Amino acid sequence: MKIRYFFYEISSPANEIRPAVSYILRSAHLIHAPNSVRYAFSKYLFSSLESDFHDNRFRAFDAVLKAINQIENGEIDNFIFDGQGFTHEIFRNHVLFEHSIFGVCPHWPLWSCSLSHYKIAIQGWMKFLQTPESLDTELIMELPESNMAKIAIFPPKLFENEAAKEASHD
């Protein structure tokens, strides 16, 4: 799998009130992956890049990458980053995403990806933000093989059978 960072253009036509307007925006997509995996990465990881790491003005990149290095070196167990769009709970093997506004709900269940994918995505986004703003600009980042991209079932399945439901905890 690969991440493709690129620019795209959107335009609004002119009308009697305002002239035509065009905007060039940044985006990221997963390539060489099944549709279900691409959808989950776009909905969570790539949306979080756009909402939570729009730029490094407040040193969010620096704080998250420092925490990742501390986790990888065993200095801390986990780190929570509260972004505008998502809360990122970063662990040694994975990163858990929870929507910052809606929390856990049917439309936004918990989702996780491997720490290696998360780190590469953030590092690639940092590099991409430094590229010229042009429709011809793109950056491709290779992702290692992983089966970690998961969406939690909502509502959570609490009991496997009726006997477990009836068990008392005296």
What is the predicted pLDDT for the residue at 168?
A: 44
User: 64: helix, coil or strand?
Assistant: helix
Comparing CA positions, the residue from 81, 113, 87 lying closest to residue 100 is 87
The beta strands (E) that lie in the chain are given as: 2-12, 21-31, 79-82, 86-90, 94-99, 111-114, 138-142, 150-151
> Any alpha helices (H) in the chain, and if so which ranges?
35-40, 47-52, 60-72, 115-129, 162-166
What is the predicted pLDDT for the residue at 59?
A: 82
What is the predicted pLDDT for the residue at 61?
A: 87
What is the predicted pLDDT for the residue at 60?
A: 85
| Mean pLDDT confidence for 137-143 | 96
State how far Cα 100 lies from the chain centre: 12
What is the predicted pLDDT for the residue at 54?
A: 81
What is the predicted pLDDT for the residue at 97?
A: 95
- Is the pLDDT score of 166 beyond 60? no
| 31 neighbors 4 (Cβ within 8 angstroms) | yes
Torsion of CA 31, 36, 41, 43, to 10 degrees: 130
Give the pLDDT confidence of 14-39 residue by residue, as tens digits: 888 889 899 999 999 999 998 989 99
Give the pLDDT confidence of 40-81 residue by residue, as tens digits: 999 999 999 999 988 777 788 899 999 999 999 999 999 999
Phi-psi region of 114 (alpha: psi -120 to 50; beta: other; left: phi over 0): beta
User: Quick check: pTM over 0.75?
Assistant: yes
* Portion of the chain with pLDDT greater than 90, in percent: 68
Cβ-based neighbour number of residue 31 at 10 Å: 11
| Mean pLDDT confidence for 125-141 | 95
Which residue type sits at 21?
A: V
Q: Which residue has the higher pLDDT, 163 or 57?
A: 57
In the beta sheet, which residues pair with residue 139? 5
| Mean of per-residue pLDDT scores for the chain | 86
Cβ-based neighbour number of residue 34 at 10 Å: 11
